[in-house]
Amino acid sequence: MLLFRGPSPINNFVRFNFGLIIIFVLLFSACTEDDPEDIPEDETGRITFKFSHQVDGENIRFDTLIYENVAGNPYLVNEIQYFISDVILYNNDETELLIDDWKDIHYVDTDIPDTHSWEVFDKIPEGTYDSIAFTYGISEEKNISFMFVNPPESFMFWPEYLGGAYHYMKLKGKWLEEGQTIQTTPFDFHLGIGQIYYSYPDSIIGFVQNYFRVSLPGSGFDLSKGEKKEINIIMNVENWFQYPHIYNHDEWGGYIMQNQEAMQKAKENGSNVFSTNFID
């Protein structure tokens, strides 16, 4: 009778083949594991909006009585504060891209330099975009009282009895009333929710949403993979007072928050206030 004192040949065969299987599995896993070089390059870019403010093609000079509107009012501007929201990029394939990742409302304040730049969080697919549009102010659905708890945005509140929520814009300045040569009069050229009165100033029977859409002329652009594009949105301040309505401060006075007729003219003029260029 033969006795095997060492490992069984059958067991050795099984162990050998099992080892081959393990080696094959490991090699296969190594071959199929994602290699960084095999991952497709990100097909998106980034955009940053810059905000500037001009009068007659030159950067605005604040607190200086050097401007005159087409109504003949000498005026100066102290500061401008406003919201833009719901920015849409229109692609040439007729699709739309809404900027709404992380942040869909941006606050601009001429006294706060940090607000003059909005680095959009959204990754923007590469491609050709025909135009840019946005809401000036905040839509009725989004303009909710007390949603901003911290300044400076919280300081833009609109009185509850006048409709609540937030101003779309505060443009503060001064003008020389007709007949005056030295003494200026303050004006608050404000936009927000308007009121319809049964009898002024106590009986409000309705509200008017004065936010509006702006389509930026000449705002088409191409965006490549990995590109960072800066887009300058320019507020041409003089246009608030001249087209399609000639706005006369002597006629409308210093405060228009409760004057829907005056705010309606400002709203309609606002569609022609903005232009754009691209920063290399």
Q: Does residue 4 lie in a domain region?
A: no
Per-residue pLDDT at 74: 98
Quick one: pLDDT band at residue 36, thresholds 50, 70, 90?
Answer: very low
Contacts of 78 (CB under 8 A, 6+ apart): 62, 63, 172, 173, 174
Cβ–Cβ under 8 Å, residues 274 and 236: yes
Domain total in the chain: 2
- List Cβ neighbours of 65 (8 Å cut-off, separation of 6 or more): 74, 75, 76, 174, 176, 184
Residues 16, 137 share a domain? no
pLDDT tens per residue, range 44-77:
999 999 999 999 999 999 999 999 999 999 999 9
- Containing domain of residue 239, as a range? 44-279
Same structural domain, 17 and 140: no
pLDDT on residue 7: 45
Query: So what's the pLDDT on residue 158?
Result: 97
**Residue 194 located in a structural domain:** yes
Residues 113 and 206 in one domain: yes
Residues 241 and 192 in one domain: yes
Secondary structure element (H or E) that encloses residue 208, with its range = strand 203-208
Residue type, 167: H
Instruction: Say if residue 30 is in the same domain as residue 153.
Output: no
Report if residue 2 sits inside a domain: no
> Is the same domain home to 101 and 19?
no
Percent of the chain with pLDDT over 70: 85
- Identify whether 150 is part of a domain: yes
Quick one: 113 and 147 in the same domain?
Answer: yes
Q: Is the pLDDT of residue 13 over 80?
A: no
Q: Which of 142, 125, 150 is nearest to 221 (CA)?
A: 125
Q: Is the pLDDT of residue 251 over 80?
A: yes
The verdict on 170 and 54 lying in the same domain is: yes
Per-residue CA distances from 146 to 15, 153, 166, 212 (Å): 72, 10, 9, 22
pLDDT per residue as tens digits for the range 205-250? 999 999 999 999 999 999 999 999 999 999 999 999 999 999 999 9
- Quickly state the pLDDT bin for 29 (edges 50, 70, 90): very low
pTM: 0.83
Within a domain: 1:
no
The phi, psi pair for 206, rounded to 5°, reads -175, 170
Q: Is the pLDDT of residue 22 over 80?
A: no
